[in-house]
A = this chain, B = another copy of it.
Amino acid sequence: MPHRSSRWVAAARLGYRCHIYEPAAGPPAGDVAWAVTTAPYEDGAALDAFAASVDAITYEFENIPATALDRLERRRPVRPGRRALEVSQDRLTEKDFLAGLGLATAPYAAVADGAELVAALARIGTPAILKTRRLGYDGKGQARINAPVEAAEALAALVGAPAILEGFVDFSAEISVIAARGQDGAVAAYDPGENRHEGGILRRTRVPAAVPRALADEAVLAAGCILNALDYVGVIGVEFFVTPRGLVVNEFAPRVHNSGHWTQQGCAVDQFEQHIRAVAGWPLGDGRRHADVEMLNLIGTEVAEVPHHAARPDTAIHLYGKEGVRPGRKMGHVNRILRG
């Protein structure tokens, strides 16, 4: 999970101490946290001791087991709440939720077996993409179906996991809104950023997005609608496709979002601090932006380009301190100031 330390740095900046619960040994944030518990999500005693040591709990990873969250939530407030996680953990639940709010989504259908996949393909057409309902991240657990003949192979690749078939959306641009909702129900949003993905991985975000103001407003309103429907507390990232027939919601993430990293250089209150403010009951920043920014992810061996970026005076560098370089792994990002 990229860039988690920014959260603890933001919390420290506001005078808070962070206690991190993390199953993996040597969490990347170990050097910036006040305390770290290394224990599996199934360790009830460790969860209880963790909860007892803190005032409020938040998370940076949406696939935490429900049993662990239930246990934590009995002892301390978890923000954003259970409902946001339930919805975002399951692509089918998420699509149903969005559709229920009257928001446009890609055409979709639940797929439990081959027969359902055949029926779904008949309705949605090809190309389409078959995804596991749960545990998706950066394009993993997905199989593209270019023609009905590929259906069986795609289904086999998911080895029996409950799935969803999604139709492709013909879009001219991808934008995202980073928004926040406070404990008092106040909502604040940053200006939408324009994203470019490659191979399911975000390459860059540019703010402001080159879209009409009315479309940007529509995206912000949709994000606010999602936040209110979930009685959400914290920062959310909502991705949209810009299509000839208007905005289509791609998905949302119940956490700070890679496409919001530009706020570190563009705003007095960045998305990391905004999240801590919401979780801790502070007034929210209003999302105003004092610079135009382009955020570029450093993916895999691109981390070797840091000297190039460091030589540019308009560029802020953020490395995550990850030990191993792997293809597709986000090693850091840079924020380039386009106009101050």
Contacts and interface: CB of A to CB of B under 8 A. Distances in A.
Contact of A318 (B13, B31, B282, B283): B13
Contact of A311 (B13, B283, B288): B283
A32 B36 CA distance: 12
Interface string A287-320: 1111100000000000000110011011111110
Interface residues of A, number: 43
Contacts of A103: none
Contact of A316 (B268, B291, B321): B268
Contacts of A289: 340
Contacts of A311: 283
A269 B335 CA distance: 10
Given A290-B340, A310-B277, A340-B340, A12 B316 contact: no
A265 interface: yes
Given A12-B5, A31-B32, A285 B313 contact: yes
Interface string A4-35: 01000100111101000000000000011110
A86 B287 CA distance: 46
A337 interface: yes
* Most B Cβ at <10 Å: residue of A5, A14, A307: A14
Contacts of A5: 12
B17 A31 contact: yes
Interface in A26-64: 31-34
A73 interface: no
Contact of A13 (B34, B277, B319, B339): B319
A286 B313 contact: yes
Contact of A31 (B34, B307, B335): B34
A268 B321 contact: no
A273 B314 CA distance: 14
Contact of A12 (B13, B306, B307, B321): B321
B31 A290 contact: no
Contact of A268 (B265, B286, B307): B265
Interface in A149-198: none
A321 B33 CA distance: 13
A318 to B, nearest CB: 5
Interface in A51-107: none
Contact of A283 (B13, B282, B310): B310
A59 to B, nearest CB: 20
Contacts of A310: 277, 282-283
**Which 9 pairs of residues, A with B, have the shortest CB-CB distance?**
A290-B340, A286-B313, A15-B319, A268-B316, A32-B32, A31-B34, A283-B311, A290-B337, A290-B291
